[in-house]
Structures are given as structure tokens and as C-alpha cells.
Amino acid sequence: MATENEKIVADFCATWKRMNVDEMLGYFTDDAVYHNIPLDPLKGKSEIRKGLHQFAGMLKGVEIKIVNRVAAGDLVITERIDTMVTPEGKRMDLPVAGVFELRDGKISAWRDYFDMKMAGMA
């Protein structure tokens, strides 16, 4: 049985398919930090909004399959396959480990760990 925090993270991951930045931002605290390791962290909703808009400009959507997840209190850790879908329909699978910290039902910190070369970023 999933915890409430696991459900919040799963629901958030599902929003990526639609690439609706406002919907995504609704899951974050105002002071949240989003960090794709080893890129610079995005601090606060304003910076996170800019980062999400960059993704939205490059991708039609991201289909996220949560392979495994574990929760302890306000911490949810996911093992995922994120499938990036380009506007032309090209698909690329990326294995990702994600760490989510929640506070009062919102994501206050999110760190994703992945291979930069596989993501085409190195």
C-alpha cells in the first residue's frame, strides 16, 4: 500500500506526460529546490519554472515509469525509466534515480541522478 507521499510523487511524475508547467509547479513548495545532478540546482518556484519551460520547449512529453520506490516519512526515493518524447515523436529511455523530500504534501526538494552521456548532455 502506497503512502500519501508516494502517491503525491507518482501523481507528480504523471504530469510530465502533459508538459503543463503550471500543473507541475503546483506540486512544489515556494522554496523548493530541483537539482539534476551534476547541473546547478534550481532554487525556488521562479527558477524551477524557467527550468521546466526549457524542458517543455525541447520535448513533447516525458513518460515516467516508476520501477521501484521506497518511502520513509517525508522522503520518497524512486528508480525510474524516463522516456523523453521529442516533438517529432523520437523516444529516448533514460534510467533515473530520484530523491524527493516532501513537506506538508508538497515537494520541497527533488534530486535526480542519471548518466549525462545517456541523456545526450555530455
User: Annotated active-site positions, please?
Assistant: 82, 112
Measure the CA–CA gap between 116 and 97, rounded to whole angstroms: 13
Of the candidates 13, 33, 39, the residue with the CA atom closest to the CA atom of residue 121: 39
For 109, the grid coordinates are: 526538494
Query: Cell 523523453 appears where?
Result: 84
Query: Cell 503543463 appears where?
Result: 20
